[in-house]
Amino acid sequence: MLCLGIESTAHTFGVSLVDKGKIHSEERDSYTTESGGIIPRELAEHHTGVCVDLVEKAMVKKPDLVAFSQGPGIGHALRIGAVAARTVSLNCDVPLIGVNHCIAHLEIARRLTKLDDPIMLYVSGGNTQVIGFESGRYRVFGETLDIGVGNLLDAFGRSAGIGFPAGPEIERLARGGKYIEMPYSVKGMDVSFTGMLTKARALLKRHKLRDICFSLQETAFAMLVEVSERAVAHTGKEQLVLTGGVGANSRLQEMCRIMCEERGAEFGAVEKRYAVDNAAMIAHTGLVMYRSGCRTQNTAIKQRWRTDEVEVTWR
Ligand code: AMP
Ligand code: MG
């Protein structure tokens, strides 16, 4: 069974054709800026500009199913993906299935790392969650109380004159930096980043950018590893998977790996291409869901669709 997946929750519009064991095509185009963050109107123009071409390129064969990112995400972006998906589904006369974007990150991570029942640290621009499967749902054990860790990096980058996305540039700048104390904000199993953002912005006038980048990374990542370790310990799941765009950061990978080694847990990081937003994960998850009997009645987008609202019938 061939499934065409469409991803469009935020900066990336992606289309991919997948069957059980193989990715047949994988096309994507991401919105970027030289300075400043995502402007929703420009983002919508980007997605409408690229969507037809990407669908045509990726649809190397006629699909049997169309899966799309139904949420959570930016309204304008989600709507364009949903319209594209409905159009293909009508044209090819095949069913349409709505996929939760966060769950798609999880499923592709399980598939690629071959870790079957991990705790997942999912760190992207908009999302920061520590997730694990318990009693038929992906439970969120801990999450950000305000902004995602990627958003912390991008918002700081904006103030420092770095374009979007700022994470890779901050990683590069952080090498060889010295530590400046930052607000370390873990509340139970949750984390908060806005205090650190305020502090980092204030430091820009008096400190080297290199030192602020280093300190941001060390503090934010230590908070994430602390919460992840507690989730691993409490659930007894001796596996950790790191994914989402910030999961591409080699320092965060190293910190997770050290924590796992110290407690004898397995660690897997998803390769960058499939850690960032991509359509192969949507197609893969749509396929797994459809096979287990899931059907989507209402294809309206869900901007605030939570990971733990989805009943997981395929595990
Ligand atoms: P996603 O929404 O999953 O595609 O992730 C996008 C986020 O990942 C953006 O906030 C980027 O700044 C961030 N990001 C990408 N690469 C890196 C990196 N090497 N280090 C830290 N953050 C990164
Ligand atoms: Mg994502």
Distance 20 CA to ligand 1 centre (A): 28
3-104+277-309 shares its CATH topology with 114-274: yes
pLDDT tens per residue across span 138-167: 999 999 999 999 999 999 999 999 888 899
Give the domain ranges of the chain: 3-104+277-309, 114-274
pLDDT at 36: 72
User: Which atom belonging to ligand 1 lies closest to the Cα atom of 153?
Assistant: 12
The answer to whether 305 and 104 are in contact (CB under 8 A) is: no
- pTM surpassing 0.95? no
User: Which atom belonging to ligand 1 lies closest to the Cα atom of 272?
Assistant: 16
Q: Which residue's C-alpha comes closest to atom 21 of ligand 1? A: 167
Ligand nearest to the CA of 164: 1
The answer to whether 199 and 205 are in contact (CB under 8 A) is: no
Average pLDDT over every residue of 85-96: 98
User: Which atom belonging to ligand 1 lies closest to the Cα atom of 151?
Assistant: 10
Distance 151 CA to ligand 1 centre (A): 9
Q: Taking 80 as the threshold, does the pLDDT of residue 7 lie above it?
A: yes
pLDDT tens per residue across span 47-80: 999 999 999 999 999 999 999 999 999 999 999 9
* Mutation pick for ligand 1 pocket among 9, 11, 106, 124 (CB with most ligand atoms within 8 Å): 124
Distance 193 CA to ligand 1 centre (A): 15
Q: Taking 90 as the threshold, does the pLDDT of residue 35 lie above it?
A: no
* CATH H-level superfamily of 3-104+277-309: ATPase, nucleotide binding domain (3.30.420.40)
Distance 208 CA to ligand 2 centre (A): 31
Q: pLDDT confidence of 38, banded at 50, 70, 90?
A: confident
The answer to whether 58 and 280 are in contact (CB under 8 A) is: no
* Mutation pick for ligand 1 pocket among 153, 241, 270 (CB with most ligand atoms within 8 Å): 153
The answer to whether 14 and 278 are in contact (CB under 8 A) is: yes
User: Exposed, middle or buried: residue 257 (CB in 10 Å: 0-12, 13-18, 19+)?
Assistant: middle
- Number of helices and strands (H, E) in the chain? 10, 12
Domain 114-274 in CATH 2.40.110.10: no
The answer to whether 104 and 311 are in contact (CB under 8 A) is: no
Ligand 1 pocket, residues with Cβ under 6 angstroms: 10, 124-125, 150, 153-154, 165-168, 171, 244-246, 248-249, 276-277
